[in-house]
Amino acid sequence: MTGEGSGPLSPGEFGRALHEFLRVSLELAPVEEPEVARRLRDHLGADRLDDLPILRRDLQRSDHPNLQVALDRLQAGGTWSVEMLGLRSEGVEHWSEGVNLGFLARGGRRALGAGAAIAALQHVTVPLGAGESIVCVVNALLLMRDGERRLAALISRGETRMGAPALRLEVIARERAQAEALVEQIEALMREHNVYRGRVVAFSGDPEMEDVGLEVRTLPAVDRAAIVLPEGALERIERHALGPARHRERLLAAGRHLKRGLLLHGAPGTGKTLTAMYLIGRMPGRTTVLLTGGALALIEPACALARKLQPATVVLEDVDLVAHERDFDMPSRPLLFELLNEMDGLAEDADVLFLLTTNRPDVLEPALAARPGRIDQSVELPLPDATDRRRLIELYARGLELRTERLDDVVERLDGASPAHVKELLRKAALLAAEEGDAAIVVEDRHLLSALDELVIVSADVRASLFAPAPGREAFPFPADEDDEKPPEDW
């Protein structure tokens, strides 16, 4: 091929010429209307789709079961009939570049044959706790009819450009008011029948990647007798956490607010997590949102969910990770400001409890820890005294036959131990006793003392290898930084 002159085309000229040839060819070539676009146009009774109003709602993937429940309720109401068409993208790598109502309205086909086709319905199963789940349709076109009203909705779920799962609801109608009414009805049903209401849920994911998920948790039941604290401490905790819900109407009538904050602090292993689980068990029907570890970065969506599903409790474990005093040059300070803003932004009648735990109350920002209206009650869970250590031994010896005449010696040597250490001591002693035979486990003094000695030896060895000389055997046998309290598997 030659150019306007006598020489051949350069590579650039050839490329431009080929591009123009393909463009003109595609414009002149007859385009067959895809079946899915035809079905959509026939259902709406429209000659053209590209001028019809389309409403779009981008949802979190955790809202998929709520959307499914709303659609089910809509059909169960008896006025709507729905025909569902499964969709399959063809030649489109990302759903955000492919199947959406705007794309279908423009003819449902792109260059090089990329487009959408009718296929079998797809479903995803979303777990909602032990033995419970909900099946949700995905990538489906819903042809909806209510009397003379005809609308269509598209549910799309796939991978976004950033690789995070996403969920989208789109509605198209002949009149915008009809589309708006349907979207409002669906959103109202999603709020009313939210599947997470009254459950314990844990946030996960990365908000910057728009990948925020929810996992329903089942926490173990914790008996009140399992909480061993100084006299009056548990009563103060119960009154502050549980009391406002019991007296809600009377308190509101008297102009008292229901939002409240409770801080549990103490050394590792003193029972902060256990106490939190006990309180959650005392509030059935109340939504609980757990934030631990990396999920502490999700303060904003967690508080938004708590406001939506109140009465609710927001649990922030190890809050010192995000709430350092502002004198500290910490990158987590924006999270502190988020937390303060969320606590301040609650309405006076919002029944939301913030339950915070920390091993380091000394580093907390005073604007959080020392200000009523944010943290209204702070309770220390101290290391147990001799009386409470004896109670703990009795508690964790349940299920065993305990035969001991030197319990006072064990209690004395446990001075400075946490409840978690006492629990571990009884576990080790039971194991030593079990190794001696197949009969019922009988724990005697020698088992307790051997278990205690074993812990001393292990701790001394660890200290000797990590630090300077190992402490003497008369010293407290547990490393100061040992934290047996965190059971992430329980959360």
Instruction: Look at residue 433 in the predicted model and tell me its pLDDT.
Output: 92
Residue for token pair 């489109």: 92
Instruction: Look at residue 35 in the predicted model and tell me its pLDDT.
Output: 83
Q: Is 375 within the bounds of a domain?
A: yes
Q: Is 204 within the bounds of a domain?
A: no
- Out of 75-84, 373-382, 452-461, 474-483, pick the least confident: 474-483
Residue for token pair 């080929």: 18
**Dist CA 282 CA 260 (whole Å):** 17
* Bridge partners, residue 356, by sequence: 263, 316
Instruction: Look at residue 249 in the predicted model and tell me its pLDDT.
Output: 86
| Residue (of 359, 360, 316, 358) closest to 338 by Cα position | 316
Residue for token pair 């009386």: 387
Instruction: Look at residue 320 in the predicted model and tell me its pLDDT.
Output: 79
Q: Which of 327, 347, 380 is the last residue of a domain?
A: 380
Q: Is 200 within the bounds of a domain?
A: no
When the pLDDT of each residue in the chain is averaged and rounded to a whole number, the result is 80
Q: Which of 339, 357, 380 is the last residue of a domain?
A: 380
Is 214 a residue whose pLDDT tops 80? yes
Judge if 252 and 400 occupy the same domain: no
Judge if 272 and 311 occupy the same domain: yes
- Out of 3-17, 340-354, 428-442, pick the least confident: 3-17
Instruction: Look at residue 200 in the predicted model and tell me its pLDDT.
Output: 94
Judge if 406 and 370 occupy the same domain: no
* 127 neighbors 133 (Cβ within 8 angstroms): yes
Confidence class of residue 175 from pLDDT cuts 50, 70 and 90?
Answer: very high
- Please indicate whether residue 165 or residue 372 has the higher confidence score (pLDDT): 372
Judge if 241 and 110 occupy the same domain: no
Provide the 10 A C-beta neighbour count for residue 290. Answer: 23
Is residue 463 packed enough to be buried (19+ CB in 10 Å), middle (13-18) or exposed (0-12)? middle
What is the per-residue DSSP string for 114-140? Answer: -EEEEEPPEEEEEE-STT-EEEEEESE
- Residues of the domain holding 295: 215-380
Residue for token pair 């004395």: 412
% of the chain beyond a pLDDT of 70 = 76
Judge if 46 and 122 occupy the same domain: yes
CATH number of the domain within which 226 lies: 3.40.50.300
Is 378 a residue whose pLDDT tops 80? yes
Give the angle 318-321-324 at the CA atoms, nearest 5°. 115
% of the chain beyond a pLDDT of 90 = 37
Instruction: Look at residue 237 in the predicted model and tell me its pLDDT.
Output: 94
Instruction: Quote the number of domains for the chain.
Output: 3
Range list of β-strands (E), 270-365: 287-291, 312-316, 352-358
* 363 neighbors 328 (Cβ within 8 angstroms): yes
Is 135 a residue whose pLDDT tops 60? yes
Q: Is 488 within the bounds of a domain?
A: no
Q: What is the 3-state secondary structure (H, E, C) of 343-359?
A: HHCCCCCCCEEEEEEEC
Judge if 145 and 97 occupy the same domain: yes
Instruction: Look at residue 340 in the predicted model and tell me its pLDDT.
Output: 74
Instruction: Look at residue 159 in the predicted model and tell me its pLDDT.
Output: 58
- Out of 158-172, 348-362, 366-380, pick the least confident: 158-172
Give the angle 194-196-200 at the CA atoms, nearest 5°. 160
Is 465 a residue whose pLDDT tops 60? no
| Residue (of 225, 81, 58, 232) closest to 157 by Cα position | 58
Q: Is 437 within the bounds of a domain?
A: yes
Q: Is 416 within the bounds of a domain?
A: yes
- Please indicate whether residue 23 or residue 121 has the higher confidence score (pLDDT): 121
R_g (Cα) of the chain, nearest Å = 31
**Dist CA 322 CA 338 (whole Å):** 10
Confidence class of residue 72 from pLDDT cuts 50, 70 and 90?
Answer: very high
Side-chain half-sphere CA neighbours of 219 within 13 A: 26
- Please indicate whether residue 212 or residue 471 has the higher confidence score (pLDDT): 212
Judge if 282 and 404 occupy the same domain: no
Rounded to the nearest angstrom, the gap between the alpha carbon of residue 468 and the centroid of all alpha carbons in its chain is: 42
Q: Is 295 within the bounds of a domain?
A: yes
Confidence class of residue 189 from pLDDT cuts 50, 70 and 90?
Answer: very high
What's the predicted TM-score (pTM) here? 0.76
Residue for token pair 């006025």: 79
- Out of 114-128, 337-351, 423-437, 458-472, pick the least confident: 458-472
Q: Which of 380, 401, 427 is the last residue of a domain?
A: 380
Is residue 174 packed enough to be buried (19+ CB in 10 Å), middle (13-18) or exposed (0-12)? middle
Judge if 354 and 438 occupy the same domain: no
Average pLDDT over residues 234-253: 89
Is 481 a residue whose pLDDT tops 50? no
Judge if 408 and 291 occupy the same domain: no
Instruction: Look at residue 360 in the predicted model and tell me its pLDDT.
Output: 83
- Out of 60-69, 137-146, 154-163, 267-276, pick the least confident: 154-163
Is 122 a residue whose pLDDT tops 60? yes
Q: What is the pLDDT of residues 265-308, one digit of tens each?
A: 998 889 999 999 999 999 999 999 998 887 778 888 888 899 99
CATH number of the domain within which 419 lies: 1.10.8.60
* 309 neighbors 335 (Cβ within 8 angstroms): no
Between the CA atoms of 16, 19, 21 and 27, what dihedral angle is there, to the nearest 10 degrees? -140
Judge if 357 and 400 occupy the same domain: no
Judge if 85 and 187 occupy the same domain: yes
Instruction: Look at residue 32 in the predicted model and tell me its pLDDT.
Output: 66
Q: What is the pLDDT of residues 8-33, one digit of tens each?
A: 767 777 777 777 776 666 565 555 67
- Out of 79-93, 111-125, 310-324, pick the least confident: 111-125
Instruction: Look at residue 437 in the predicted model and tell me its pLDDT.
Output: 80
Judge if 457 and 342 occupy the same domain: no
Instruction: Look at residue 478 in the predicted model and tell me its pLDDT.
Output: 44
Q: Is 205 within the bounds of a domain?
A: no
